[in-house]
Every structure is written in C-alpha cells, then in structure tokens.
A and B are shown apart, each in its own frame.
Chain A
Amino acid sequence: MSQISAEHVEKLRQQLKSIQEPKGYFFNKDSQYVYDLLEGLLQNRQRYGYACCPCRLAANDRETDKDIICPCVYREADVAQYGTCYCGLYVSREFNEGKIPVQTVPERRGD
C-alpha cells in the first residue's frame, strides 16, 4: 500500500470541508485527529476501492459496506443525538463550541 501524502490528505480535507460545512457538518476541531481519520479514509479507498469508515471493519465488498462508506448513513442520527458521528470526523457546530459533552457514540449498525 503506497504511502498517503500530506498533500493528498490536505486536498481531501479542503474538498470535503467545502461540501460538508454548508450541510451543517463540520470537521472535529482536533485537527490532528481529523488528519489521521482522513488518512484512514484514503488508505481504505486504496485498499478496498471505497472510503469505508475508518472506525468500522470493512468487508471489502462495496455492496455489503454501502451503509458505512463515508459519510455513513448513520452520521445524521449520530450528530443529531451526540453532536458527532461514530468516528468523530464530523461534528456539529455546538460540539466544536464545547456545548455538548464528549461521549462514546454507540454503534447503530445492526439495530
């Protein structure tokens, strides 16, 4: 697996930021944490051919994993309830303002 470059991660960050923020989804203010997750997404895209959630075990089958291709189908409910998505990449404005307590988001998949 070829090394993911910092430029590659930064390009993805800017791309996603411009798409997701208007929808109300902000990157976690912990920029190193975000960098590591974006790197994970790029690694997964390289490994599996799709950007599987970095915090879920991929089945290496797009159809099986279509619900956890980032942004996952669970993001909306998780951000609404916890202020953050399952892996912590996308958060609400209030979460980044410290208005929401940080807690572990339980896995919805399979509910």
Chain B
Amino acid sequence: MPPVKIYTLSTCGHCKNAKRFLDDNDVRYDCVDVDLLQGEEREKVIDEVKQINSRLSFPTIVIGDTIIVGFKEDQISEALGL
C-alpha cells in the first residue's frame, strides 16, 4: 500500500467523507487539518499544498505519486489498488 497523506479542513464535509472512506478501507494515512494550524507551520504546509495543488482546495490527497483533489472515490480506490 503506497503512503497516503491527506490535507483537510476541520469544517469540510468532503474532507470528512474522504477520511471516512479511508478508515472504512483500513487505510493508514497522515492527516493535516490546515485550518487548525498557526504561524510558521501553517505557512509551511500551505506552501506544501500549493506545490501540488495551486488552487489550495481541499481535500488534497496524496497517494504515492498520485495527487487527487476532492473526494473522488473512484480515483482514490484506483490509486490505492482497492
């Protein structure tokens, strides 16, 4: 299983659905609620996201080398090899 990282907002419904989908499929992942970050750490993570998703929209999901913007179940399943 490729490494999985998901950038989210704590208030976003699509982000919650994406995390629930990963949990339901027993996928281990790193998660960052960007809206809850402060100061330098926030700026660093925002730059990180902009590198892979210039629109800075959420969720931004990184599965191995694949970047998926939005809760797109079919693309996530394919990238995970489910």
Interface residues of A (CB under 8 A from B): 33, 36-37, 39-41, 43-44, 54-58, 87-89, 104-107, 109-110
Contact = CB atoms under 8 A, between A and B. Distances in A.
B51 interface: no
B55 A58 contact: no
Interface residues of B, number: 18
A8 to B, nearest CB: 15
Interface in B1-36: 9-16, 34-35
State the majority secondary structure of interface residues on A. Answer: loop
B78 to A, nearest CB: 15
Given A36-B16, A55-B15, A57-B34, A107 B55 contact: yes
7 closest cross-chain pairs (CB), A and B: A40-B11, A54-B11, A104-B70, A55-B12, A107-B57, A107-B55, A37-B13
A33 B14 CA distance: 9
Nearest to A88: B13
Nearest to A36: B13
Given A104-B70, A107-B57, A110-B55, A55 B9 contact: yes
Most buried by A among B13, B35, B57, B71: B13
B67 interface: no
